[in-house]
Amino acid sequence: DAGVIQSPRHEVTEMGQEVTLRCKPISGHDYLFWYRQTMMRGLELLIYFNNNVPIDDSGMPEDRFSAKMPNASFSTLKIQPSEPRDSAVYFCASSLTSYNEQFFGPGTRLTVL
C-alpha cells in the first residue's frame, strides 16, 4: 500500500488567498483525520471523518476552515481566506477503526505571507 498521500507538500501563498490541501487515505481505512502542527501548540486535531461523514469538527479554528470527504479515497481541507497565523504543517491521517493506530501522511507545509 502506498500509505497516506497528501498534496501539495509545500504551499506558499499570500494572505487572503484560498488554500486547498488534499489527502488520499489508505485504502480500506474508515477513519480520516486532519491535524495541524505548530511549535507553539503541538499536534492538534482539526476534524475527523468516519465513512466519509464528518464526526467532530470542534478543532476547526474558525469558519475560514472547511473540510470535505466526497468519497472514501479523497478529502480536502480548505482555508479561505488564509492568514499568516495559519502557517503550519497540516497532516492527514487514517485508521482502520477508531481505536486502531493512525497512519500519517507526509504533511503539507503551509506558509501564508
Partner 1 sequence: QKEVEQNSGPLSVPEGAIASLNCTYSDRVSQSFFWYRQYSGKSPELIMSIYSNGDKEDGRFTAQLNKASQYVSLLIRDSQPSDSATYLCAVTGGGGAQKLVFGQGTRLTINP
Q: How far apart are CA 89 and CA 17, in angstroms?
A: 17
| Per-residue burial over 79-94, b = 16 or more CB atoms within 10 Å of its CB, e = otherwise | beebeeebbbebbbbb
Q: Which of 43, 51, 83, 113 binds partner 1 (CB under 8 A)?
A: 43
Task: Return the C-alpha cell found at 22.
Answer: 488534499
User: How many residues at the interface with partner 1, by CB under 8 A?
Assistant: 20
Residue nearer to partner 1 on the CB measure, 81 or 111: 111
Query: Cβ of 95: how many Cβ atoms within 10 Å?
Result: 19
Q: Does residue 98 belong to the site contacting partner 1 (CB under 8 A)?
A: yes
Q: Does 56 bind partner 1 (CB under 8 A)?
A: yes
Say whether residue 91 binds partner 1 (CB under 8 A): yes
CB 4: neighbour CB atoms within 10 A? Answer: 22
Q: How far is the CB of 88 from partner 1 (least distance, A)?
A: 13
Binding site for partner 1 (CB under 8 A): 31, 33, 42-43, 45, 48, 50, 55-56, 91, 98-107
